[in-house]
Structure 1
Amino acid sequence: MKVALYARYSSDNQRDASIEDQLRLCRDYAARHEWNVVDSYTDRAVSGASLMRPGIQELMQDAQRGKFSVILAEAMDRLSRDQEDIAGLFKRMKFAGVRIITLSEGDVTQLHVGLKGTMNALFLQDLADKTRRGLRGRIEAGKSGGGLCYGYDVVRQFDAAGEPMRGDRSINETEAAIVRRIFREYVAGKSPKAIALTLNAEGMAGPLGGAWGPSTINGNRERGTGILNNEMYIGRLIWNRLRYLKDPETGKRVSRLNPQCDWIVQEVPDLRIVEAELWDAVKARQATTTWSQRTRGNGVHPLNRLQRPRYLFTAMIRCGCCGGGFSMISQTLLGCSTARNKGTCNNRMTIRRDVLEKSVLNGLRTRLMDPALFKEFCDEFTREVNRVRMEKGADLVAMRAELPRVDRELDKAIQAILDGVPGAKLKDKIGRLEARKEELMALLADAPQPPPLLHPNMATIYRERITALYENLQNEETNTEAVERLRALVSCIKLIPQDGELAIFLEGDLAAILNFSSNRKSAAVHPDHSVLESFIGQDSLVAGAGFEPAAFRL
């Protein structure tokens, strides 16, 4: 009689000696029956809820080859705890002519498969229910429900009885600093891939000691995975967001999102790493970069919308003759796409991409840095803004002063009634005073505090900011945020053929700002007024964010 031994221990019994104990008992049993043990198969620290185990798979393959005629194990639950799996194993072994014998059940029959399989399945379900009950109690006590989150350390301590107290966490300041850095750099405009590459280049170990990857940082916003979506970092512990099922085909765990009403949320402010403002900024940027079905319908592929522009003014350059786009027609030159692809435009002139970008940046620096112009503008701007803010502050002061007067008038009216004046005569007056008091209290409660006055030295601050902006735009390593801010100020760049070259016209808030810096506050006195009328049209001269006109020639 050729016999194969099988032994397994699962994660709920982490004791390697258990394997040797099972094999020793099985060898003794085989020796008493004078059976020949040809081989032994083991699975260490693997759950019996699936047959996707190397030891049991090798056992099944050797059984099909006829290597042995009996499988001997300590109990059926060592082979499998799943009803379907144990029934399938029994069916395959019966087809191969291999008997299954266990020390607990003896010669396994279909009756054992049905009864013990059901009992083992119930055991697994009962174990899962008890585990979830214990985890929920731990969560509601403000402790972790399992797993170590990056940025925290496990606190190992014992109760009075010497039993370990599980679920306590403390902030790991080194890792917390990296978490804050990831949040700040993402808000500044860096992609998860760029952040991961930088951290790996600096030798920063990621979670579990491995390398950083984009998915580790970005994760899944809906499922709350990834560094940027872990609400533990703002002091909020969420449990039961996901449930896990085993795929019957592969035996691997697959996550499913639970309804939000089933989530268990617990505030743990002592574990906060990221401030609410920074968290909200990350969520706001994610909202602009996350594609959903609702964003369809504008004819632009979603992947193209999410792609970061390669150059400073990508997709913003237009032909002043036909309105079509200007694209790269060679490694360095920009040309009208309509003229080359459709032949419906006669504008065949080209311009170097780097020349265009430098023209805009030089215009930004030279025109905005003229000392006399920006000092005059800043002085006037500061004076006007401070005047408006002081007027708003004066309204609040007046309302605060009126409220005590209304109270005094009410007191006088009530005293008059007490002195014998008929109440009918004062009824209307008291009603008006009470209504005015309620109105004042509501206005004061809802009125925001007036913003602080602008500093009179705004011109110097302005000059420093413009210098820093220009320097950041020149530095490819630090220009991400500056580029995004500059692109937000430009709605379009039109290239118009004039005198054998392409004239550059900006449209948008940046154009309006440059106009102000040049002290050109009216389109009628703009030196390029006739050109703008001919090629751009009056309709495009729409005021930007408080500025006019919204076009400027460089």
Structure 2
Amino acid sequence: MPQHRKRAAVYARFSTDLQRDRSVDDQVAVCRTLADREGLTIVATFVDRARTSATLIGRDGMQDLLAEAKEGRFEFVIVEALDRLSRDQGDLAGIWKRLEYLNIPIRTVNDGTADAISVGVHGLLGQIWMDGHRKKVHRGQAGVIRDGRHAGGKAYGYSPVAGKPGELAIVEHEAEVVRRIFEAYASGDSPRTIATALNADRIPAPRGEKWNASTLNGNAQRGYGILVNDICRGEIIWNRVTMVRNPDTGKRVSRVNDPTEWHRVPAAHLRIVPQSLWDSVQVKRKSRAHQQTKGRRGRGPSRPTRPFSGLLRCGLCGGGIAISKRRGGSVWGRCSTRTESGSCTNLAEMRIDRIEATIFKGLTEELRDPVYVRKYLKAYHKERARLNREAKQNGAGLERKAAKARMAFDRARALYIKGVTDGPEAEAEIHRLQEDVKAAQAILPRIDTEPEVIELHPASIERYLEALADLSDGRLAPDNCDAVAILRELVSAVINTPKERGLDVTVDGFRAALLGESPICRGLMVAEEGLEPPTRGL
């Protein structure tokens, strides 16, 4: 009888777009040769193209391999070398442990079957290689800067010189735009005004479709933004930031380096903006920044200024709604895209407080529906049952703690009575132990032994209706952090679209959050009446 050939999966990976896709074919070929030599049948091939070995996040091929390994689709994994799986110590060990648990050996073309020692050694060597490679790249970029070349990305107003890595040339028509921006800012125009004018003249933006204020302002510490990019004044600054990889998301994030670590190199041939104009703009920027932050000091932790802050959206462009207060206490909003860049046609200004009151009223009416009452009570009793179980589980430990405190107090008091101890120190110790007993007894849980029955209890319904009354009466102030947080979980977006008669307000998310459904509440907001007509199904 023919011998049963065991099933195997092949995994191949290459790191960057700069490497050849042919690399994958070469890896698979040598793995197939090994499989034929050892009598294995390849039933699946998993590939990650242009994926770094520094993280498992985003590596779909590896994730598919691990998922199908759990389903028992193969009995071996074949790779050219362990560094194809990962060069990160933790990730490589994790892959090996998962496959080892599933009794799936890893066979490598170069080093045989992986074991704890080979995984540990290759993981360490891989980590050392990555750290060394990172340092060599950094050293090479430092050499580029010393030569007066540019080691960063493309800057607006410049283009790379073909065949000369790191060398830039001024793009004159873009340089004219840069000078226009600086001159307008120096003359008193705000970044929003400048962006609106550039969009009106249909000048292409550096990225995206439209100019906006953030394109000009950027981030001074990181050197992003046209108004703060030092290359415009003829100086290249490098090593402002260090890129690190978030182990939870796999994304690279930047951290600002200490200014003493920055590399500064004169580049007079790249100057677009005269030094006097540059200095004038920086003075105005600092003055404006001081005025903007003057009233923000001492406000404490950031929190939403209004219950729906960040959830309000323009129905024409999808941008956010900027909120501001006016004299008399009224709260108004307008499309932030219109404000920042002038690229949205939504000129409407809306009363935010009236929108909030209308949503609260509609939400209150909707949540009186019995289906929501049952949902609320189910969640209420479920939470009550959970707390009851935890109290029972923790009760024994707390009882032991209280008993130990009582025993220590009794021993100290007995020694004092018998005259073994005396004096102020002994009395103070007895007093301290007595306080320990009181504290231990105070935290003993009152175990609720009621059965877990979910029913329409009158007291629970009354509390639910009181909460709705708070909502409809407008008592949901931003200070009420818990209530606001719950409300914001229920609302995914409040979309405001201008109409002839007023404002069409669409609220997304209530049913989706509560019941897994997704109908919409919508209505027309007119000058003094709110949503018209009153709508169920909020």
TM-score under structure 2 length normalisation: 0.52
After superposition, the Cα gap between the structure-2 partners of 1:70 and 1:235, relative to the gap in structure 1 and judged at 3 Å, is same
Runs of 5+ consecutive residues of structure 1 not aligned to the other structure: 158-164, 305-313, 316-324, 332-554
The question of 1:90 aligning with 2:89 is answered no
Deviation sequence 1:471-520 (CA, Å, 0-9, x none): xxxxxxxxxxxxxxxxxxxxxxxxxxxxxxxxxxxxxxxxxxxxxxxxxx
SS at match of 2:148: coil
- 1:148 offset after TM fit, Å? 2.0
Within 5 Å, give how 1:488-527 maps onto structure 2.
none
Q: C-alpha separation between the residues in 1 aligned to 2:184 and 2:292?
A: 28
CA-to-aligned-CA distance 1:242-298 (integer Å, 9 cap, x gap)? 111111111111111111111110010110111223222322232133369973588
Matches of 1:112 and 1:137 in 2, distance apart? 37
1:25 alignment partner in structure 2 = 30
Task: State the one-letter code of the partner of 1:144.
Answer: H
Amino acid at match of 1:219: G
What is the alpha-carbon distance in structure 2 between the residues aligned to residue 131 and residue 299 of structure 1?
43
| DSSP-derived class of the 1:71 partner | strand
Aligned AA (1:86): L
Aligned residue among 48, 55, 62 for 2:53: 48
| Equivalent-residue separation in structure 1 for 2:117 and 2:297 (angstroms) | 64
Q: Which runs of 5+ in 2 are unaligned?
A: 1-5, 306-323, 333-538
Change (3 A) 1:292 1:328: closer
* Aligned counterpart, 1:551: none
Residue 147 in structure 1 maps to residue 153 in structure 2: yes
Task: Please tell me whether the aligned partners of residues 15 and 50 of structure 2 are also in contact (alpha carbons under 8 angstroms).
Answer: yes
Distance 1:168 1:293 in 2: 38
Q: Which residue of 2 aligns with 1:447?
A: none
CA–CA distance in structure 1, aligned partners of residues 329 and 121 of structure 2: 73
SS at match of 2:242: strand
Tell me what 1:261 maps to: 260
Tell me which residue corresponds to 1:81. 87
Q: CA 1:297 to 1:128, structure 2 compared with 1: closer, same or farther past 3 Å?
A: closer
Does structure 1 residue 36 correspond to structure 2 residue 61?
A: no
- 1:7 matched to 2:21? The reply is no
Give the C-alpha shift of residue 69 in structure 1: 2.5
Amino acid of the structure 2 residue aligned with 1:174: H
Q: Which has the larger radius of gyration?
A: 1
One-letter amino acid matched to 1:34: G
Partner of 2:229: 230
* Residue of structure 1 equivalent to 2:289: 290
Aligned counterpart, 2:371:
none
Q: Is the 8 A contact 2:245 2:253 kept in 1?
A: yes
Partner of residue 128 from structure 1, selected from 127, 134, 144: 134
Q: How does 1:274-313 map to 2 (within 5 A)?
A: 274-290=273-289, 295-296=294-295
Between Structure 1 and Structure 2, how many residues are aligned? 306
Question: Distance between the aligned counterparts of 1:249 and 1:330, measured in 2?
Answer: 39
Q: What is the identity, as a one-letter code, of the residue corresponding to 2:90?
A: E
What whole-Å deviation, never above 9, does each CA across 1:210-262 have from its counterpart, x for those lacking one? 54444333211222112221111111101111111111111111111111111
Instruction: Tell me what 2:69 maps to.
Output: 63
RMSD over aligned CA atoms reads 3.3
Which letter does structure 2 place at the counterpart of 1:288? Answer: S
Distance 1:29 1:108 in 2: 15
Distance change >3 Å, CA 35–CA 156, structure 1 → 2: same
Counterpart of 1:265 in 2: which secondary structure?
A: strand
Q: Secondary structure at the match of 2:11?
A: strand
Task: Map 1:145-544 to 2 at 5 A.
Answer: 145-157=151-163, 165-200=164-199, 202-207=201-206, 211-290=210-289, 295-296=294-295
Residue type at the aligned position of 1:77: D
Give the Cα–Cα distance (whole angstroms) in 2 for the partners of residues 36 and 203 of structure 1.
61
Distance 1:152 1:295, change over 3 A: same
Measured after TM superposition, the shift of residue 197 of structure 1 is 4.7
| Aligned position for 2:352 | none
Partner Cα distance (1:211, 1:330) in 2: 28
Supply the distance in 2 between the matched residues of 1:77 and 1:292 (Cα, whole angstroms). Answer: 54
* Cα 1:167/1:326, change in 2 over 3 Å: closer
Compute the displacement of 1:194 (Å): 4.7
Q: How far 1:20 moved relative to its partner?
A: 1.4
Letter in 2 for 1:5: V
List per-residue Cα deviations over 1:179-214 (Å, max 9, x = no partner).
222333334444444544544454433335754444
How far 1:80 sits from its partner (Å)? Answer: 0.9
SS at match of 1:42: strand
Matches of 2:174 and 2:157, distance apart in 1? 5
Note if contact 2:16-2:52 (Cα within 8 Å) is conserved in structure 1: yes
- Deviation of residue 36 (structure 1)? 2.2
2:151 alignment partner AA: G
Q: Distance in 2 between the 1:57 and 1:76 partners?
A: 16
Q: State the Cα distance separating 1:113 from its structure 2 match.
A: 1.2
| Letter of the 1:166 counterpart | P
Deviates more, 1:142-151 or 1:77-86: 142-151
Match for 1:255: what amino acid?
S
In 2, Cα distance between the equivalents of 1:132 and 1:5?
Answer: 34
* 3-state SS in 2 of match to 1:290: helix
Equivalent residues of 2:152, 2:238 under 8 A apart:
no
- Does the residue aligned with 2:16 lie in a helix, a strand or coil? coil
For 2:168 and 2:298, the matched residues in 1 are separated by 49
1:299 and 1:9 map into 2 onto residues whose CA distance is 51
